[in-house]
Structure 1
Protein backbone atom coordinates (compact mmCIF):
# COMPACT_ATOMS: atom_id res chain seq x y z
CA UNK A 1 0.00 0.00 0.00
CA UNK A 2 1.02 3.63 -0.35
CA UNK A 3 0.20 6.97 1.26
CA UNK A 4 0.25 8.86 -2.03
CA UNK A 5 -2.93 10.21 -3.57
CA UNK A 6 -4.64 8.25 -6.36
CA UNK A 7 -3.53 10.84 -8.93
CA UNK A 8 0.09 10.70 -7.74
CA UNK A 9 0.07 6.92 -7.65
CA UNK A 10 -1.34 6.36 -11.15
CA UNK A 11 0.63 9.19 -12.75
CA UNK A 12 3.80 7.67 -11.32
CA UNK A 13 2.69 4.21 -12.43
CA UNK A 14 2.61 5.33 -16.06
CA UNK A 15 5.54 7.74 -15.99
CA UNK A 16 7.89 5.08 -14.60
CA UNK A 17 7.15 2.74 -17.52
CA UNK A 18 6.91 2.81 -21.26
CA UNK A 19 3.84 1.09 -22.67
CA UNK A 20 2.20 -0.68 -19.75
CA UNK A 21 -0.60 -2.69 -21.32
CA UNK A 22 -0.72 -4.92 -24.40
CA UNK A 23 -2.71 -2.52 -26.58
CA UNK A 24 -5.37 -5.21 -27.09
CA UNK A 25 -8.93 -4.81 -25.77
CA UNK A 26 -10.01 -6.81 -22.77
CA UNK A 27 -11.37 -10.11 -24.18
CA UNK A 28 -14.26 -10.10 -21.70
CA UNK A 29 -15.31 -6.65 -22.88
CA UNK A 30 -15.24 -7.93 -26.46
CA UNK A 31 -17.23 -11.01 -25.48
CA UNK A 32 -19.97 -9.02 -23.76
CA UNK A 33 -20.20 -6.03 -26.11
CA UNK A 34 -19.71 -7.53 -29.58
CA UNK A 35 -23.42 -8.32 -29.94
CA UNK A 36 -24.64 -4.90 -28.76
CA UNK A 37 -25.76 -2.22 -31.19
CA UNK A 38 -23.22 0.64 -31.12
CA UNK A 39 -24.24 3.84 -29.40
CA UNK A 40 -22.56 6.02 -26.81
CA UNK A 41 -20.09 4.46 -24.39
CA UNK A 42 -18.32 5.56 -21.23
CA UNK A 43 -15.01 3.82 -20.48
CA UNK A 44 -14.02 4.30 -16.83
CA UNK A 45 -10.34 3.92 -16.02
CA UNK A 46 -9.41 3.71 -19.69
CA UNK A 47 -5.64 3.52 -19.16
CA UNK A 48 -3.79 3.61 -22.47
CA UNK A 49 -7.03 3.38 -24.42
CA UNK A 50 -7.19 -0.12 -25.91
CA UNK A 51 -10.83 -0.72 -24.95
CA UNK A 52 -11.94 2.75 -26.05
CA UNK A 53 -10.19 2.36 -29.40
CA UNK A 54 -11.75 -1.05 -29.97
CA UNK A 55 -15.20 0.33 -29.14
CA UNK A 56 -14.69 3.24 -31.53
CA UNK A 57 -13.69 0.84 -34.29
CA UNK A 58 -16.99 -1.00 -33.75
CA UNK A 59 -18.92 2.23 -34.28
CA UNK A 60 -19.35 3.46 -30.70
CA UNK A 61 -18.88 7.10 -29.75
CA UNK A 62 -16.76 6.91 -26.63
CA UNK A 63 -16.02 9.09 -23.64
CA UNK A 64 -12.86 7.64 -22.10
CA UNK A 65 -11.79 8.63 -18.60
CA UNK A 66 -8.66 8.18 -16.53
CA UNK A 67 -7.00 9.88 -13.60
CA UNK A 68 -3.52 9.83 -15.17
CA UNK A 69 -2.73 12.51 -17.75
CA UNK A 70 0.18 10.43 -19.07
CA UNK A 71 -2.12 7.50 -19.82
CA UNK A 72 -4.58 9.78 -21.60
CA UNK A 73 -1.85 11.30 -23.78
CA UNK A 74 -0.71 7.85 -24.84
CA UNK A 75 -4.29 6.76 -25.48
CA UNK A 76 -5.07 9.81 -27.61
CA UNK A 77 -1.94 9.26 -29.70
CA UNK A 78 -2.89 5.63 -30.33
CA UNK A 79 -6.43 6.60 -31.25
CA UNK A 80 -5.02 8.94 -33.87
CA UNK A 81 -2.82 6.14 -35.22
CA UNK A 82 -5.86 3.84 -35.33
CA UNK A 83 -7.94 6.37 -37.27
CA UNK A 84 -10.64 6.82 -34.62
CA UNK A 85 -9.57 10.13 -33.10
CA UNK A 86 -12.88 11.78 -33.94
CA UNK A 87 -14.93 9.06 -32.20
CA UNK A 88 -13.36 9.37 -28.73
CA UNK A 89 -13.41 12.18 -26.19
CA UNK A 90 -10.69 11.88 -23.53
CA UNK A 91 -11.40 13.30 -20.08
CA UNK A 92 -9.27 13.34 -16.94
CA UNK A 93 -11.22 12.70 -13.74
CA UNK A 94 -10.53 11.59 -10.22
CA UNK A 95 -13.83 9.73 -10.19
CA UNK A 96 -14.15 10.12 -6.44
CA UNK A 97 -14.29 13.88 -7.02
CA UNK A 98 -15.85 14.39 -10.47
CA UNK A 99 -17.69 12.36 -13.06
CA UNK A 100 -18.41 12.73 -16.79
CA UNK A 101 -21.71 14.35 -17.66
CA UNK A 102 -24.49 12.66 -19.61
CA UNK A 103 -26.13 9.29 -20.11
CA UNK A 104 -24.59 6.43 -22.08
CA UNK A 105 -25.78 3.28 -23.80
CA UNK A 106 -22.80 1.41 -22.35
CA UNK A 107 -20.85 2.15 -19.18
CA UNK A 108 -17.77 -0.04 -18.85
CA UNK A 109 -15.61 -0.48 -15.75
CA UNK A 110 -12.85 -2.96 -16.54
CA UNK A 111 -10.61 -4.16 -13.69
CA UNK A 112 -11.55 -1.15 -11.64
CA UNK A 113 -9.24 -1.90 -8.71
CA UNK A 114 -6.81 0.41 -6.98
CA UNK A 115 -4.30 -0.09 -4.16
CA UNK A 116 -4.84 3.51 -3.05
CA UNK A 117 -8.64 3.68 -2.99
CA UNK A 118 -10.26 4.57 0.32
CA UNK A 119 -12.90 2.33 1.85
CA UNK A 120 -16.18 2.18 -0.11
CA UNK A 121 -14.84 4.51 -2.82
CA UNK A 122 -15.16 1.88 -5.56
CA UNK A 123 -18.77 1.18 -4.60
CA UNK A 124 -19.66 4.87 -4.67
CA UNK A 125 -18.09 5.33 -8.10
CA UNK A 126 -19.89 2.27 -9.48
CA UNK A 127 -23.19 3.62 -8.19
CA UNK A 128 -22.50 6.82 -10.12
CA UNK A 129 -21.66 4.66 -13.11
CA UNK A 130 -25.07 3.02 -12.85
CA UNK A 131 -26.70 6.46 -12.71
CA UNK A 132 -24.96 7.27 -16.02
CA UNK A 133 -26.59 4.37 -17.90
CA UNK A 134 -29.34 5.45 -20.31
CA UNK A 135 -32.66 3.57 -20.36
CA UNK A 136 -32.10 0.38 -22.33
CA UNK A 137 -28.35 0.64 -21.79
CA UNK A 138 -25.84 -1.70 -20.16
CA UNK A 139 -23.51 -1.47 -17.18
CA UNK A 140 -20.56 -3.84 -17.61
CA UNK A 141 -18.25 -4.47 -14.66
CA UNK A 142 -15.31 -6.85 -15.06
CA UNK A 143 -12.91 -7.39 -12.19
CA UNK A 144 -10.45 -9.78 -10.67
CA UNK A 145 -12.00 -12.37 -8.37
CA UNK A 146 -8.77 -12.91 -6.42
CA UNK A 147 -5.01 -12.89 -6.62
CA UNK A 148 -3.29 -15.09 -9.23
CA UNK A 149 -2.65 -18.62 -8.00
CA UNK A 150 1.13 -18.09 -8.00
CA UNK A 151 0.81 -15.37 -5.33
CA UNK A 152 1.58 -17.34 -2.17
CA UNK A 153 1.71 -14.09 -0.19
CA UNK A 154 -0.46 -11.31 -1.69
CA UNK A 155 1.33 -7.95 -1.88
CA UNK A 156 -1.39 -6.27 0.18
CA UNK A 157 -4.73 -7.07 1.75
CA UNK A 158 -7.55 -6.56 -0.70
CA UNK A 159 -11.10 -7.82 -0.93
CA UNK A 160 -12.16 -8.69 -4.47
CA UNK A 161 -15.96 -8.41 -4.47
CA UNK A 162 -18.04 -11.13 -6.09
CA UNK A 163 -20.64 -10.26 -8.72
CA UNK A 164 -23.51 -10.76 -6.21
CA UNK A 165 -21.71 -8.45 -3.76
CA UNK A 166 -21.39 -5.80 -6.47
CA UNK A 167 -25.08 -6.13 -7.32
CA UNK A 168 -25.98 -5.69 -3.65
CA UNK A 169 -23.71 -2.67 -3.28
CA UNK A 170 -25.29 -0.96 -6.30
CA UNK A 171 -28.73 -1.17 -4.66
CA UNK A 172 -30.51 -0.95 -8.00
CA UNK A 173 -34.32 -0.80 -8.19
CA UNK A 174 -35.35 -4.26 -9.45
CA UNK A 175 -38.16 -2.78 -11.53
CA UNK A 176 -35.62 -0.78 -13.57
CA UNK A 177 -32.67 -3.17 -13.87
CA UNK A 178 -32.13 -6.72 -15.08
CA UNK A 179 -29.02 -8.76 -14.33
CA UNK A 180 -28.11 -10.41 -17.64
CA UNK A 181 -24.72 -12.00 -16.90
CA UNK A 182 -22.87 -13.06 -13.76
CA UNK A 183 -19.89 -15.19 -14.61
CA UNK A 184 -16.53 -16.38 -13.31
CA UNK A 185 -13.88 -16.89 -15.97
CA UNK A 186 -10.73 -18.86 -15.18
CA UNK A 187 -7.74 -18.43 -17.45
CA UNK A 188 -4.05 -19.30 -17.47
CA UNK A 189 -1.68 -16.58 -16.32
CA UNK A 190 2.10 -16.89 -16.22
CA UNK A 191 3.83 -15.26 -13.26
CA UNK A 192 6.63 -12.69 -13.49
CA UNK A 193 9.26 -15.40 -13.05
CA UNK A 194 7.67 -17.75 -15.57
CA UNK A 195 5.69 -19.73 -13.01
CA UNK A 196 2.49 -21.28 -14.41
CA UNK A 197 -0.75 -20.30 -12.77
CA UNK A 198 -4.37 -19.35 -13.10
CA UNK A 199 -6.43 -16.25 -12.53
CA UNK A 200 -10.17 -15.85 -12.10
CA UNK A 201 -12.15 -12.84 -13.27
CA UNK A 202 -15.71 -11.83 -12.45
CA UNK A 203 -18.12 -10.55 -15.10
CA UNK A 204 -21.29 -8.63 -14.34
CA UNK A 205 -23.57 -7.24 -17.06
CA UNK A 206 -26.72 -5.40 -16.03
CA UNK A 207 -29.27 -3.74 -18.27
CA UNK A 208 -31.32 -0.71 -17.33
CA UNK A 209 -34.78 -1.60 -18.57
CA UNK A 210 -36.29 1.85 -18.15
Structure 2
Protein backbone atom coordinates (compact mmCIF):
# COMPACT_ATOMS: atom_id res chain seq x y z
CA UNK A 1 0.00 0.00 0.00
CA UNK A 2 1.48 3.37 -1.00
CA UNK A 3 1.44 6.53 1.13
CA UNK A 4 -1.36 8.11 -0.94
CA UNK A 5 -3.63 5.10 -0.38
CA UNK A 6 -2.83 5.05 3.33
CA UNK A 7 -3.62 8.76 3.66
CA UNK A 8 -6.86 8.34 1.73
CA UNK A 9 -7.91 5.58 4.12
CA UNK A 10 -7.20 7.78 7.12
CA UNK A 11 -9.18 10.67 5.65
CA UNK A 12 -12.11 8.41 4.78
CA UNK A 13 -12.44 6.88 8.23
CA UNK A 14 -11.84 10.14 10.08
CA UNK A 15 -14.68 11.64 8.05
CA UNK A 16 -16.87 8.61 8.70
CA UNK A 17 -16.39 8.83 12.47
CA UNK A 18 -16.85 12.60 12.44
CA UNK A 19 -20.36 12.23 11.03
CA UNK A 20 -21.81 11.45 14.47
CA UNK A 21 -20.90 11.49 18.14
CA UNK A 22 -20.80 7.70 18.19
CA UNK A 23 -20.80 5.28 15.28
CA UNK A 24 -20.99 1.94 17.10
CA UNK A 25 -23.01 0.72 20.08
CA UNK A 26 -20.25 0.82 22.68
CA UNK A 27 -20.86 -2.87 23.45
CA UNK A 28 -18.30 -5.62 22.68
CA UNK A 29 -18.83 -7.90 19.71
CA UNK A 30 -20.83 -10.98 20.71
CA UNK A 31 -18.40 -13.37 19.04
CA UNK A 32 -15.47 -11.87 20.94
CA UNK A 33 -17.31 -12.34 24.23
CA UNK A 34 -18.29 -15.92 23.38
CA UNK A 35 -14.86 -16.99 22.17
CA UNK A 36 -12.56 -15.29 24.70
CA UNK A 37 -14.52 -15.24 27.96
CA UNK A 38 -12.81 -18.44 29.15
CA UNK A 39 -9.25 -17.47 28.22
CA UNK A 40 -6.60 -16.61 30.79
CA UNK A 41 -5.91 -12.87 30.47
CA UNK A 42 -2.60 -11.82 28.98
CA UNK A 43 -1.61 -9.41 26.24
CA UNK A 44 -4.10 -8.66 23.48
CA UNK A 45 -4.12 -6.81 20.16
CA UNK A 46 -7.43 -5.48 18.83
CA UNK A 47 -7.16 -4.78 15.09
CA UNK A 48 -9.57 -2.18 13.73
CA UNK A 49 -10.50 -1.27 17.29
CA UNK A 50 -12.76 1.64 16.31
CA UNK A 51 -14.21 3.40 19.34
CA UNK A 52 -12.70 0.83 21.71
CA UNK A 53 -15.60 -1.30 22.96
CA UNK A 54 -13.80 -4.64 22.49
CA UNK A 55 -10.53 -3.33 23.94
CA UNK A 56 -12.31 -1.97 27.01
CA UNK A 57 -14.21 -5.23 27.54
CA UNK A 58 -10.96 -7.19 27.44
CA UNK A 59 -9.16 -4.75 29.74
CA UNK A 60 -11.95 -5.00 32.29
CA UNK A 61 -11.25 -8.74 32.41
CA UNK A 62 -7.57 -8.32 33.12
CA UNK A 63 -6.04 -8.15 29.64
CA UNK A 64 -3.43 -5.59 28.68
CA UNK A 65 -4.66 -4.37 25.31
CA UNK A 66 -3.20 -2.57 22.32
CA UNK A 67 -5.91 -1.23 20.03
CA UNK A 68 -5.03 -0.27 16.46
CA UNK A 69 -7.11 1.73 14.01
CA UNK A 70 -6.61 3.97 10.99
CA UNK A 71 -8.85 6.73 12.36
CA UNK A 72 -7.46 9.24 14.82
CA UNK A 73 -11.01 10.34 15.59
CA UNK A 74 -11.98 6.80 16.60
CA UNK A 75 -8.84 6.39 18.67
CA UNK A 76 -9.55 9.53 20.70
CA UNK A 77 -12.99 8.13 21.49
CA UNK A 78 -11.44 4.78 22.40
CA UNK A 79 -9.04 6.44 24.85
CA UNK A 80 -11.90 8.37 26.41
CA UNK A 81 -13.98 5.19 26.70
CA UNK A 82 -11.10 3.37 28.40
CA UNK A 83 -10.52 6.22 30.85
CA UNK A 84 -14.21 6.42 31.70
CA UNK A 85 -14.25 2.65 32.30
CA UNK A 86 -11.23 2.89 34.60
CA UNK A 87 -8.94 0.81 32.37
CA UNK A 88 -6.87 3.54 30.76
CA UNK A 89 -3.69 2.12 32.31
CA UNK A 90 -4.41 -1.31 30.77
CA UNK A 91 -4.98 -0.02 27.26
CA UNK A 92 -2.87 1.62 24.58
CA UNK A 93 -4.28 2.91 21.30
CA UNK A 94 -2.12 3.31 18.20
CA UNK A 95 -2.87 4.73 14.78
CA UNK A 96 -1.98 2.31 11.99
CA UNK A 97 -3.09 1.84 8.43
CA UNK A 98 -2.58 -1.90 8.73
CA UNK A 99 -1.60 -2.33 5.10
CA UNK A 100 1.35 0.00 5.71
CA UNK A 101 2.29 -0.44 9.40
CA UNK A 102 1.54 -2.86 12.22
CA UNK A 103 1.87 -2.77 16.03
CA UNK A 104 5.08 -4.23 17.40
CA UNK A 105 5.30 -7.17 19.77
CA UNK A 106 3.82 -10.61 20.32
CA UNK A 107 0.43 -11.23 21.87
CA UNK A 108 -1.54 -13.93 23.65
CA UNK A 109 -4.64 -12.86 21.72
CA UNK A 110 -5.09 -11.06 18.43
CA UNK A 111 -8.67 -10.15 17.59
CA UNK A 112 -9.80 -8.94 14.17
CA UNK A 113 -13.55 -8.37 14.37
CA UNK A 114 -15.13 -7.02 11.18
CA UNK A 115 -11.85 -5.85 9.72
CA UNK A 116 -13.44 -4.66 6.48
CA UNK A 117 -13.10 -1.37 4.63
CA UNK A 118 -14.51 0.41 1.61
CA UNK A 119 -10.96 1.66 1.13
CA UNK A 120 -8.03 -0.37 -0.16
CA UNK A 121 -7.24 -2.89 2.59
CA UNK A 122 -5.04 -5.95 1.91
CA UNK A 123 -7.02 -7.98 4.44
CA UNK A 124 -5.43 -11.39 3.83
CA UNK A 125 -1.82 -10.15 4.20
CA UNK A 126 -2.83 -8.19 7.30
CA UNK A 127 -4.36 -11.31 8.87
CA UNK A 128 -1.26 -13.35 8.02
CA UNK A 129 0.85 -10.71 9.78
CA UNK A 130 -1.54 -10.94 12.73
CA UNK A 131 -1.00 -14.70 12.91
CA UNK A 132 2.78 -14.18 12.96
CA UNK A 133 2.44 -12.04 16.11
CA UNK A 134 0.68 -14.74 18.17
CA UNK A 135 2.74 -16.05 21.08
CA UNK A 136 3.06 -19.77 21.77
CA UNK A 137 -0.27 -21.04 23.08
CA UNK A 138 -1.99 -17.84 21.99
CA UNK A 139 -5.25 -17.28 20.15
CA UNK A 140 -6.15 -15.69 16.83
CA UNK A 141 -9.80 -14.67 16.48
CA UNK A 142 -11.18 -13.49 13.13
CA UNK A 143 -14.82 -12.47 12.78
CA UNK A 144 -16.21 -11.12 9.53
CA UNK A 145 -19.25 -10.67 7.36
CA UNK A 146 -20.11 -13.41 4.87
CA UNK A 147 -21.41 -12.76 1.36
CA UNK A 148 -22.82 -9.44 0.23
CA UNK A 149 -24.37 -6.91 2.61
CA UNK A 150 -28.15 -6.98 2.77
CA UNK A 151 -28.36 -3.37 1.54
CA UNK A 152 -26.81 -4.23 -1.86
CA UNK A 153 -29.56 -4.17 -4.50
CA UNK A 154 -27.53 -5.30 -7.49
CA UNK A 155 -25.85 -8.70 -7.23
CA UNK A 156 -22.11 -8.44 -7.71
CA UNK A 157 -21.94 -4.71 -6.98
CA UNK A 158 -20.06 -5.24 -3.70
CA UNK A 159 -17.05 -7.42 -2.93
CA UNK A 160 -18.25 -10.62 -1.28
CA UNK A 161 -16.65 -11.47 2.04
CA UNK A 162 -15.13 -14.92 2.63
CA UNK A 163 -16.56 -17.88 4.47
CA UNK A 164 -14.76 -19.33 7.49
CA UNK A 165 -13.22 -22.05 5.33
CA UNK A 166 -11.96 -19.44 2.87
CA UNK A 167 -10.46 -17.41 5.70
CA UNK A 168 -8.57 -20.47 6.92
CA UNK A 169 -7.23 -21.17 3.44
CA UNK A 170 -6.10 -17.58 2.94
CA UNK A 171 -4.09 -17.60 6.19
CA UNK A 172 -1.74 -20.25 4.76
CA UNK A 173 -0.82 -21.49 8.23
CA UNK A 174 1.25 -24.67 8.84
CA UNK A 175 -1.16 -27.26 10.19
CA UNK A 176 1.45 -28.66 12.56
CA UNK A 177 1.74 -25.29 14.32
CA UNK A 178 -1.94 -24.38 14.65
CA UNK A 179 -5.08 -25.93 16.11
CA UNK A 180 -8.40 -24.91 14.57
CA UNK A 181 -10.87 -24.52 17.43
CA UNK A 182 -13.76 -22.84 15.58
CA UNK A 183 -14.45 -22.31 11.88
CA UNK A 184 -18.11 -21.71 11.15
CA UNK A 185 -20.81 -19.31 10.03
CA UNK A 186 -23.23 -17.87 12.56
CA UNK A 187 -26.48 -15.96 12.28
CA UNK A 188 -26.44 -12.62 14.04
CA UNK A 189 -29.36 -10.44 15.01
CA UNK A 190 -28.99 -6.81 14.07
CA UNK A 191 -30.94 -3.61 14.44
CA UNK A 192 -32.24 -1.55 11.54
CA UNK A 193 -33.17 -2.39 7.99
CA UNK A 194 -29.64 -3.05 6.70
CA UNK A 195 -26.57 -5.02 7.64
CA UNK A 196 -25.27 -8.54 7.47
CA UNK A 197 -27.09 -11.39 9.11
CA UNK A 198 -24.39 -14.06 8.71
CA UNK A 199 -20.84 -13.86 10.03
CA UNK A 200 -17.82 -16.11 9.81
CA UNK A 201 -16.03 -16.96 13.06
CA UNK A 202 -12.54 -18.43 13.03
CA UNK A 203 -10.60 -19.14 16.22
CA UNK A 204 -7.19 -20.74 16.18
CA UNK A 205 -4.63 -21.61 18.83
CA UNK A 206 -0.91 -21.62 18.23
CA UNK A 207 0.49 -24.89 19.52
Q: Do these two structures clear the TM 0.5 threshold for a shared fold by scoring above it? A: yes
Q: Give secondary structure in 2 for the equivalent of 1:164.
A: helix
Question: How far is the alpha carbon of 1:163 from its aligned partner?
Answer: 1.1
Instruction: Answer whether contact 1:148 1:189 (CA < 8 A) is retained.
Output: no
Partner residue of 1:208? 206
Q: Which residue of 1 aligns with 2:30?
A: 27
> Which contiguous aligned blocks of 4+ residues in structure 1 show a shift greater than 2 angstroms?
146-156, 187-192
Q: Is the 8 A contact 2:48 2:115 kept in 1?
A: yes
Match of 2:183 in 1: 182
Structure 1 counterpart of 2:105, from 91, 102, 106: 102
CA 1:104–1:129: 2 relative to 1, 3 Å: same
Can you give the 5+ residue segments of structure 2 that lack an aligned partner in the other structure? none
Q: Is the 8 Å Cα contact of residues 108 and 139 (structure 2) preserved in structure 1? A: yes
Distance 1:67 1:176 in 2: 31
C-alpha distance in 2 between matches for 1:146 and 1:199: 10
Q: Is 1:170–2:197 an aligned residue pair?
A: no
The size of the alignment, in residue pairs, is: 202
What pairs with 1:112-131 in structure 2 (closer than 5 Å)? Answer: 112-118=115-121, 121-131=122-132
What's the CA shift string for 1:76-133, capped at 9, x where partnerless? Answer: 0111000000000111111111111110000000001111125xx1001001000010
CA distance in structure 1 between the partners assigned to 2:84 and 2:156 by the alignment: 36
TM-score by length of 1: 0.90
Aligned partners of 1:168 and 1:177: how far apart in 2?
Answer: 13
Taking structure 2 as the reference length, the TM-score comes to: 0.91
Distance in 2 of aligned mates of 1:156 and 1:14: 24
Aligned to 2:148: 147
Q: Distance in 2 between matches of 1:182 and 1:171?
A: 15
Aligned Cα root-mean-square deviation (Å)? 1.9
Please list every run of 5 or more consecutive structure 1 residues that lacks an aligned counterpart in the other structure.
none
Q: How does 1:12-51 map to 2 (within 5 A)?
A: 12-51=15-54
Partner Cα separation in structure 1 for residue 20 and residue 156 of structure 2: 20
